Amino acid sequence: MSLDIQAKGWGWRHAGRRAWAIRNLSFTIKAGERVLLLGPSGAGKSTLLAALSGVLGDANEGEEEGSLTIGGIHPRDLKGHAALMMQDPDSQIVLTRVGDDVAFGCENMCVPPAEIWGKVDAALASVGLNLPRSHETAHLSGGQQQRLVLAGALAMGAELLVLDEPTANLDAVGLIQVRDAVADAVANRSRTLIVVEHHCSTWASLVDRVMILTAEGIIADGSPHEVFSTRGNELAQMGVWVPEENTTPPYHPDSPCHPIPSCHPELACHPELACHPELACHPELACHPERSEGSTTQPRGSFTPLTPFAPFRMTHNPQPCHLELACHPERSRRIHGVDSQVATPCEVSKPAVLSTHNLSIGHGSTPVRSGFSLEIPEGLSTVITGPNGSGKTTLALTLAGLLPPLAGTVEASSTLAPPGRPNPHAWKSKELLSRIGTVFQSPDHQFVSNTVFDEVAIGLRAQSKAHDTAFQSSGSIEERVNQLLEELRLAHLAKANPFTLSGGEKRRLSVATVLACNPQVIILDEPTFGQDRCTWASLVEIVRTLRDGGTTVISVTHDEAYIKALGDYRIDLGQP
């Protein structure tokens, strides 16, 4: 049977929602085609993938109109036709050991037992997850979880491979490995591939076809060259991360959808940075000879050549200590190996708001890293980087007081900690509320309310009960919530259930829940996951404003554009 996919006026509305998640879709995808599905955050891309995989639900979970069929059959009525990788890989992991989890799909597809372990090993190797079959899935990082779920999808051998943001939490090496593994899986055209990815350059050379989905339906459908060359600027303005060569100036892929304020002249002090489009400096400042490398009269803050671990930051109102961090290549602190210490520290004129001594971190009794010390400067934006599995999320949760150290100490400064109690893990939840706010890697793990509005308001209500705050009245709480929802482009979803949002919308909601209580320190784990260009720019601008107002920001990220915009200080964990 030919598994051609056909949609005729198809749409879906989640139960309890007035607005349709997706509507008026009509298209045909031939068996064996490779399709890249693009569109702004919230356009319905994940909803369509869930429908094609047969997991969207029935009439009790929403309303369907039109028709969507695979080989003339509704996807819910097909068994084993699709291998789906969802945005939240943790929700797809069902067994406690890596090998068993990959084998689970094969067993459901009735693969002969004698063939299963060979398929499991081949799939794990193809995605670069070099762990024993017995490794516990609970001890995987977010990027490792993505690789595991993809391995399970590839091992199944299903005729439809449906991938939703498959490389969002991966380091650079992992991204290439995953992309190549998918390319091998679809090389003989026996599988149909549909992939959603905001950063489309990774997949453009692999796919035959690009479809652009918006609230109005499919607005562009053709070869990558045809779609990007004829509509590149239009797509960029609506939020699609279009490859730069397919647009005309002044578009730059890392720039927001609105003009960036001119940077301070003291940042335009090195030719490699002065003319960088992200800095958007005034032309009279950009290549001033007194700011060129080798000048005999260089101003304060002059640059030495950038290293790969010395990202710069844009700022509206730089201070001397910020400039010192932004311009000096040695400001990037690195941790190499399990037992090594941090390299020579940078000259930081800001005091440490959080510090560790001889710290060992891990889950349960299993260490991820051991015996290191570091400091987080107060009032700056610190980024934690490193390959998948290096302990970035574990370190962030330990700094946040949500995981206990296996050994060593974490101490908060006297300006942050309750009197005489520097260990964040010993604080009560109401003490953490206004001190350290944490955005988890998986947004679903922190949602507890039935509406988007209530999700943002819950922390404010708890805060008003615990303290005499400025948000005691219901009117003040409502004003604060509405302000945040507007800034994060979620106002139209105020009454929606958080679990029905798109992946990008869930990420912005999780950020809003933390921002609402104005904590002194904010810890963000992959904050730009699932964002289009426009929502990325809004989120980065909000974080930048918080930092400029004195909030300490700590971000776990692989996003190089985010690091360039907000990397005042960098801790690179390297390989564990």
The predicted-structure confidence for 303-356, as pLDDT tens digits, reads as follows: 222 222 222 222 222 222 222 333 333 344 444 333 333 333 344 568 999 999
**The pLDDT of residue 114:** 94
Sign of CA dihedral 99, 100, 101, 105: positive
Residue 352's Cα: distance from chain center in Å? 27
Range of the domain at 415: 320-572
Residue 6 within a domain: no
3-class state of residue 538 by DSSP? helix
> Rounded distance, CA 447 to CA 425, Å?
21
Sign of CA dihedral 54, 64, 498, 38: positive
| CATH number, domain with residue 447 | 3.40.50.300
> Rounded distance, CA 138 to CA 131, Å?
13
Residue 106 within a domain: no
Q: In this structure, are residues 481 and 473 in contact, taking their beta carbons and an 8 Å threshold?
A: no
Torsion of CA 193, 194, 196, 200, to 10 degrees: 60
3-class state of residue 27 by DSSP? strand
Residue 174 within a domain: no
**pLDDT by 10-residue block (mean), the chain, 576 residues:** 88 88 94 93 90 87 94 90 86 92 91 94 92 92 87 90 87 85 90 88 90 89 92 85 69 47 31 31 31 30 25 28 32 38 46 95 84 93 92 94 94 95 93 90 87 92 66 71 91 91 87 90 90 87 92 94 93 82
Give the chain's domain count. Answer: 1
Residue 374 within a domain: yes
Is there a cis peptide before residue 367, judged by omega within 30 degrees of 0?
A: no
3-class state of residue 241 by DSSP? strand
List C-alpha distances in Å: 570 to 223, 333, 522, 526, 554: 40, 6, 16, 15, 10
**The pLDDT of residue 403:** 93
Triad 378, 384, 390: Cα angle to 5°: 145
List C-alpha distances in Å: 565 to 236, 287, 539: 19, 21, 11
Dihedral pair phi/psi, residue 130, rounded to 5° = -90, 70
> Rounded distance, CA 87 to CA 441, Å?
11
Residue 430 within a domain: yes
Residue 392 within a domain: yes
Residue 363's Cα: distance from chain center in Å? 22
Sheet holding 22-29, edge to edge: 22-29, 5-14, 62-70
Q: Could you count the other beta carbons within 10 Å of the beta carbon of residue 290?
A: 11
Sheet holding 552-556, edge to edge: 332-334, 569-572, 381-385, 552-556, 521-525, 436-439
State the angle between helix axes of 98-108 and 113-126 in degrees (0 to 180), rounded to the nearest 10: 130
Residue 315 within a domain: no
Residue 18 within a domain: no
**The pLDDT of residue 10:** 96
Which tens digit of pLDDT belongs to each residue from 40-70? 888 899 999 999 999 987 778 899 999 999 9
User: Which pTM was predicted?
Assistant: 0.74
**The pLDDT of residue 463:** 77
> Rounded distance, CA 341 to CA 75, Å?
54
**The pLDDT of residue 275:** 30
Helix, strand, coil % in the chain, rounded to nearest 5: 35, 20, 45
Contacts 24+ apart (CB under 8 A), 334-337: 334/309, 334/571, 334/572, 334/573, 334/574, 335/369, 335/372, 335/374, 335/571, 335/572, 335/573, 335/574, 336/574, 336/575, 337/574, 337/575, 337/576
Residue type, 423: N
